[in-house]
Chains A and B, each alone.
Chain A
């Protein structure tokens, strides 16, 4: 099985709930396609962390894949 994961220990904590983030499955959506991704999320309020490398890396790659840009 894949040993790949976006989950990484992070120093970011939810400032609102004062909680550490935890790994959780999240559905992200773009142009009608939904993807299931494991991300770091605040267990109380559900704030999802999209780290810079994900936003500018894999996420951008998939956005462009779907866009025909």
Chain B
């Protein structure tokens, strides 16, 4: 199988180019579209973290929303109590989520498939209720998370939503670039080796447990970054912002993108943001009631998920590659 190899330097410029294109295109967007753009970026980061975990390291998490929550809360606590600059808060959020991920990863390394899925599910259900235990976490209302006004050099009266969008895009570009390089590095190869055949990997000197824990830690850290960005766009952190449905959406997004193709990640992210809009317009057209409006998004997402698992289980990008390879093999014969 031949694959065009792009060196790290080229891909770096590629990402800068992508950033410029997003910057230019988004200048035409209004506030609502820019806000949705920020959500897309948040989902891209979060789904990449699942792709790293599931597609490359072979572990599954149904509770990644919990790590988003840890990241968001840590950043908000640092911001509110210590009044640190926003970039430091982001780093604290990422580190906190990574530490939480390492703790869970310690036990996750010993589990597989359904056991890991159920444990992470239990985590996502259990963790939010902790906020009621500590007053400093603000209970069900949560905490404010004020990132402050847009920096002065962007000019007076610069829309805060546009500023969120730029920040989220920046975070997305940096993290996806980082993940891409990480997956092409020694670590990425180690993870794939463990996923492919753990006995063979062990025989070639890979410490399986360490490799799995590392993957879980990195993945949780990236999820934490997504959590901080979600908190930024919402202006608050609360248990309601990181519900079980969010965890499920992330897993769904990863499957829609194809769990082992980082390139497809935008498909899942855009779908997750677009579905509520589509559902809204459908239920409007049919003069839908409130019941229809609340339930249609869930039905659409689930149906899409089921269809994907049935017909393109490895994701659209991978499927296209397979079909192309098949055609090529056919032509050569």
Do these two chains interact?
Answer: no
Q: Which residues of A contact B (CB under 8 A)?
A: none
Q: Which residues of B contact A (CB under 8 A)?
A: none
